[in-house]
Chains A and B, each alone.
Chain A
């Protein structure tokens, strides 16, 4: 399960846990309507666009109304502290909440009770709290913007409003220095995706990748376009991509959606989200170039998955074959078949499904 956690700017929205679905410009959740605007609404919308496209189960979300007075944030955190081990999400993305160091400390302790450690993502107020409480290194991914990166690099700042002037003044090209400083001070998550005019993906103080094209400066003005990147990378990690690959694709997809929507500084984030399906299709042909055969046999029990896999092996003997199944018996039977043909088999859990990557023997 992928779990997105954050507040919604509707004062009376009660604490709610459930699956979302899109309804025009709104998200439907257990009878409530959530706007796809700046904040957790935008993040959920982007994640939902990605899970829909990838045919994965939609994100679970834990939300509460909060317009800044903090009660909804505290409800969310208290609930999660009690229930996170039971929920045991594969990806846990923490978002807009009043930053509270003590609550974040208790939550991180509770997360240790999960049967399997979730991929832990933080952005917005949850990231502020994690850094201020000295818990950054417990997280797999932070997604700061350039100013928030300066906040992570400032050892004395407990909020971006208090960063040192000389750090605020730094040009975007200086981001690698801030990245290195943040890692040295243990104020960074294991992976950073820094969002800005140039997006940086960094690990252990080193920049792994930069994404600068297409260059769409107007994205910075549109409230929610940073949130959409965080939603995309979380969903792609849930789909089984390596976190650094997911970060690079998310940053690029966001830019492409901005270009496709022909945005201005007055554009709404929902108009950018509307373009994600087309962008995913634009990115998808790159998969075919790697000569990969994909078989989706979810909903079928054996022998159908084995028969389909065997047919692909016979027809495309030199190509990598990915097989998506939804039950353990199919996983075992397809693996056995592939190994008997000399294939190497990698298996990844993707939500409640299994993705089998069958690579042919090199001498074929």
Chain B
């Protein structure tokens, strides 16, 4: 029974009316993977390769063929080490992209060593990788290669299923199962059948994806535009929230991912600026990177500077900003449209709906809302070299694993393999954990409460609370409307209101299972937002303007902050503690510039 399909959602009259009516499904497995995305699929394949007898279960919120951030497809693999370059070169480039770090060079290096093999797996599995006229892999930038990745997600999912993983579709993870300080499984809500799924496992890999929808998006103000963001809006930070609530250490959440995206319809821009060498220009037609950021590297400036540059133009009165695609030849334009169709198909529809031909009119660009994504920037769990978090038995891979930026698709795949090996090593000699009924009962109470309040209950809808949080984060914790800037007082204000929201969880109400899932997602968002604000508060400097801008500490402070900012929430008291960990340079050379 590998890919277990969900059925139609229960009708209102079929919903459980009391906690006693909630059915519990117990599943015993060796390895539990929370989230069957890019990283999760590779965990499954690698685990079954290590031992074909191992029982692997995937708890999947969507349906694995089209779930998560890769559901629409992908147009490039952003990192694949070319001939003549080494893993050390890639780490050096990655370090310069994040302004010299700090970053976890141990993790980055181990990932880089695994990277090409993981990308080759994808090609062997059927992913079309574009070739040049000599039959060699076609590079569109220094490290990134072009693919026709419309089928990327089904290709990965099919391999996870073929490898023998049992995929439980439409089960949304909510909380970890613990035995003392050790993680021994996880629980989730069946969003179609309403059952509580309890997975007991010897080891768990948390690969739920990152956190979008913590901040308000600038289009989230009218009809049908609430999820008009670049990051998959169904990745809400549940993985971070689950670990954080049980005391797992989070790292570097203040290094948010803010990207330059196409304006009004949030599509990728590297596709055009890197892939097709289209310069970024302002309203006067000035080439921004060359004319205003030459001293920081121009087009090769660190990623956060490139991301922040167009928004600075707006701030200083020189918007709109564009990627100048004018004059592209027809063949190149056709290729560019195919790239969009592979990753963000509706952008092509958007251009058609504007009656716009990018060969004649440049494509407008703008900053995105901020995301927490350990596969792009560094926010995620503090992990050891085996990708185990500070909770024994809980591993992280992909967006959930922190400290190691610029992973993208290939790096998340590679990290899935590394985490699978770590988990496999960890579970040797481990007995099947006993089920703690009390913990299950407590989690049931927590996650089903919004469904049990009764039709007349005067409460708060999951959407109302989500929108309150998004507005709060946008205005006080450095969202797009504030040009990503914040200060101590605003962050204190945000924390005060996050505490109020946490206290108001008891008013959340859900009329059906879909809303119950959303209620749980919103609680996860609030908890992750709490961690984000503590991280932003603790870094009293500005290291990565745009990603992390402190208006009250506008300079970089290497004396105090050339290190990692960490947080831990006490599972008993709920108190959050922030502290630092030192940075260690492993790959020698200039930290701030990539020479290649």
A binds B: no
